[in-house]
Amino acid sequence: MPETLTIDAIQQWLNRFASEITTQADWLTELDSAIGDADHGTNMVRGTAAVVAKLDDGSTSTVQELLKAVGMTLVSTVGGASGSLYGTFFLEMGRNSPSSVQLDASELENALRAGVNGVIARGHAAVGDKTMIDALEPAVTVLSRSLADGRQLHGSIAAAAAAATTGRDSTEPLVARKGRASYLGDRSAGHIDPGAASATILVAALAASVGEGIAR
């Protein structure tokens, strides 16, 4: 029987994302104060708390509806560039998910790829620009490769999370080419990008939830 990610596991992923963001909010803000405007932690806590509240109201019954609702909630509560980018990620995931109560491995892969492509299109960013794409792009690339190699979803998502972490750390020496950090020029080097850091938390939370939530 193929592995699937149930709607409950997706909800658990988002709850875990919210609680990890809260735990690491000070760190995210610290990263943002070095090269941005010191509000990434606060903004993400506000947005993910709103997502948890939205999911708790039980108004969504399919994966597609749920992901779109998450996207709209983030867009309207996070603010700034991050709100629009995270919102686009989930809206595009939702648009590319089936109207069912679960995702199989290839459906999850397609949805994640669509989400990342949406962020790339919205932000006009590429790998190496010192943005969340530096974590997200290698994560979905590794996920696809791993699934194509015949590995299970659980192991593939874990590999994707590891790739996100490596991608996040790769932003440290980079000079930012997008967003407010780019005004700093060479002075943006030497700091991890806060968006890449929160995006890594997102992928790690998915790996943890897949580990627990797969129906076999």
Q: Which parts of this chain interact with another protein (CB under 8 A)?
A: 37-39, 42-43, 72, 75-85, 87-88, 122-123, 177-180, 182-185, 187
For another protein, give the closer residue by CB, 125 or 210.
125
Nearer to another protein, 15 or 182 (CB): 182
Question: Both tokens of residue 134?
Answer: 């530096």
For residue 50, how many other CB atoms are within 10 A of its CB?
17
Q: Where are the alpha helices (DSSP H) in the chain?
A: 7-23, 25-35, 40-56, 63-77, 80-95, 105-123, 133-148, 153-170, 194-213
The smaller minimum CB distance to another protein, of residues 13 and 86, is found at: 86
Nearer to another protein, 39 or 193 (CB): 39
Cβ at position 119, least distance to another protein in Å: 10
88 neighbors 118 (Cβ within 8 angstroms): yes
User: Least distance (Å) from another protein to the CB of residue 84?
Assistant: 4
The answer to whether residues 198 and 28 touch, using CB atoms and an 8 Å cutoff, is yes
Amino acid at 130: K
Question: At closest approach, how far in Å is the CB of 178 from another protein?
Answer: 6
DSSP label of 101: S
Least gap, CB of 72 to another protein (angstroms)? 7
Question: Cβ of residue 111: shortest distance to another protein, in angstroms?
Answer: 19
To the nearest 10 degrees (0 to 180), the angle between helices 105-123 and 133-148 is 150
Give the type of residue at 64: Q
Least Å from the CB of residue 2 to another protein: 35
Nearer residue to another protein within complex by CB, 122 or 154: 122
Identity of the residue, 82 or 156, whose beta carbon is nearer to another protein in the bound complex? 82
Q: Using an 8 Å Cβ cutoff, are 78 and 28 in contact? A: no
Task: Please state at what angle helix 105-123 crosses helix 153-170, rounded to 10 degrees.
Answer: 20
Distance CA 112, CA 89 (A): 8
